[in-house]
Amino acid sequence: MDMRTLGRTDLKVSAICLGTMTWGEQNTEEQGHAQMDYAVSQGINFFDVAEMYPVPPKAETYGRTEEIIGTWFAKTGKRRDIVLATKVAGPGSMDYMRGGAKLDRKSVLAACDTSLKRLQTDYIDLYQIHWPSRATNYFGQLGFKPSDDSRAPSIEETLGALAELVKAGKVRHVGISNETPWGVSEYLRLSREQGLPRPVSIQNPYSLLNRSFEVGLAEFAHREDLGLLAYSPLAFGMLAGKYLNGQRPANARLTLYARFSRYNGDHAMAATQAYADLAREHGLALNQMALAFVTSRHFTTANIIGATTIEQLQSNIASHALKLSKAMLDGIEAIHKRYTIPCP
């Protein structure tokens, strides 16, 4: 397994990161433990979770994914072998989270403490802001629309709270997620001018169906050592090919949860079919071609791979050994010109 440096730290993380957001909803605790066991056996040392997981979020399962990781740590004693990343939720309608998730100082500090308890650890290697407090473009939104967010906690307040956690030894490094170029520049400015923690990574969506990261953020990743932790590299399973031709497999995410419509429009289907045809021409599985592409990008630190079955996980992790030929990359670019960003 390829190991890569996390930002400007001394941490080495596997190029494949184990995603966990189905554990506690689509996967049981036993299945989550089995996935961690297998991932570690394949050289993966990087796990990613969030306080709001599993997805879709709801009060009955809030925090369950972190708890599953915590019981695995307690059972195996492997905490020191793992680079552990989790996230504090931004604002939203989830009132069951501390009376309403926020990114003010009090909420960030409280969120970290409860995550530590669920994870059964006394430190988090990478603590990430899950999404911004301010009104901006994330989760598929296009077209910035100014609104009055003057009462939202500032990035300065949020980063100041993270600084307290770093000073207390509860957090080693900080990261951001679902951020924009302006947000990245503001975090870096405050870090530089006020001596606050410098983000070491950015976790944003990136896949063959959504290469928007390349437009304004790839240059930040390159020049500021702010590596991408790519989430949804298979676009909610669309790039596994299992939804083509109107298929809706039992227990698949888009079958179970109609709310996830980001990657299943007509344009997405057409682009996916084109990529499936390309993979078939070269004798490859679509999921492995799609994942290998994400892992190979110069700005990618880690590709966050999740699965609901061990068989899916095995196939997805195996993609790390696949090297795409020039002919394949040229084919991908040709399709990209036809369907530039079918899913934002």
CA dist 207 and 277 (Å) reads 17
Answer whether residue 250 shows pLDDT above 90.
Answer: no
Answer whether residue 248 shows pLDDT above 90.
Answer: no
Burial of residue 214, with CB atoms counted within 10 A of its CB: 0-12 exposed, 13-18 middle, 19 or more buried: middle
Q: Which residue has the tokens 């110069």?
A: 298
Q: Region 185-189: what's the mean pLDDT?
A: 98
Answer whether residue 258 shows pLDDT above 70.
Answer: no
Q: What is the pLDDT of residue 24?
A: 97
Q: What is the pLDDT of residue 272?
A: 95
Q: What is the pLDDT of residue 22?
A: 96
CB 317 within 8 A of CB 16: yes
**What counts of helices (H) and strands (E) characterise the chain?**
12, 10
Nearest Cα neighbor of 104 from 94, 85, 119, 91 is 91
Task: Please confirm whether the linkage preceding 205 is cis (ω < 30° from 0).
Answer: no
In the predicted model, what is the mean pLDDT of the chain?
94
- Tell me which architecture the domain covering 3-236+287-325 has in CATH: Alpha-Beta Barrel (3.20)
Q: What is the pLDDT of residue 139?
A: 87
Q: What is the pLDDT of residue 343?
A: 84
Q: Which residue has the tokens 């297998």?
A: 38
Answer whether residue 300 shows pLDDT above 70.
Answer: yes
Determine the 3-state secondary structure of 170 from DSSP.
coil
Answer whether residue 230 shows pLDDT above 70.
Answer: yes
Q: Region 290-299: what's the mean pLDDT?
A: 98
DSSP bridge partners of 235: none
Answer whether residue 13 shows pLDDT above 70.
Answer: yes
CB 69 within 8 A of CB 39: no
CB 50 within 8 A of CB 19: no
Based on C-alpha coordinates, what's the Rg of the chain? Answer: 19
CA dist 210 and 208 (Å) reads 6
Answer whether residue 304 shows pLDDT above 90.
Answer: yes
Q: Which residue has the tokens 């997981």?
A: 53
Determine the 3-state secondary structure of 204 from DSSP.
strand
Q: What is the DSSP letter of 94?
A: -
Which pair of tokens denotes residue 164?
A: 């307290």
Q: Region 146-171: what's the mean pLDDT?
A: 95
Q: Which residue has the tokens 């698949």?
A: 252
Q: Which residue has the tokens 């090297």?
A: 323
Answer whether residue 289 shows pLDDT above 70.
Answer: yes
What is the per-residue pLDDT across 85-101, written as a single tens digit (0 to 9) for each?
999 999 988 899 988 88
Nearest Cα neighbor of 334 from 277, 294, 263, 265 is 277
Q: Region 255-276: what's the mean pLDDT?
A: 82
Q: How many CB atoms lie within 10 A of CB 239?
A: 28
Answer whether residue 255 shows pLDDT above 70.
Answer: no
Q: Which of 17-31, 141-155, 290-304 has the lowest mean pLDDT?
A: 141-155
Catalytic residue list: 53
Q: Is the dihedral of CA 116, 119, 122, 124 positive or negative?
A: negative
Percent of the chain's residues with pLDDT above 70: 97
Q: What is the pLDDT of residue 257?
A: 67
Instruction: Give kind and range of the element (H or E) at residue 228.
Output: strand 227-231
Which pair of tokens denotes residue 70?
A: 């915590």
Answer whether residue 251 shows pLDDT above 80.
Answer: no
- Torsion of Cα atoms, 278 then 282 then 285 then 290, to 10°: -50
Query: 0.85 cut: is pTM over it?
Result: yes
Answer whether residue 259 shows pLDDT above 70.
Answer: no
> At how many degrees (to 10) do helices 266-281 and 286-296 cross?
90
What is the per-residue pLDDT across 48-90, written as a single tens digit (0 to 9) for each?
999 999 999 999 999 999 999 999 999 999 999 999 999 999 9
Question: What is the phi/psi pair of residue 78, to 5°?
Answer: -100, 15
Query: What is the residue extent of each domain of the chain?
Result: 3-236+287-325
Question: What is the phi/psi pair of residue 134, to 5°?
Answer: -75, 165
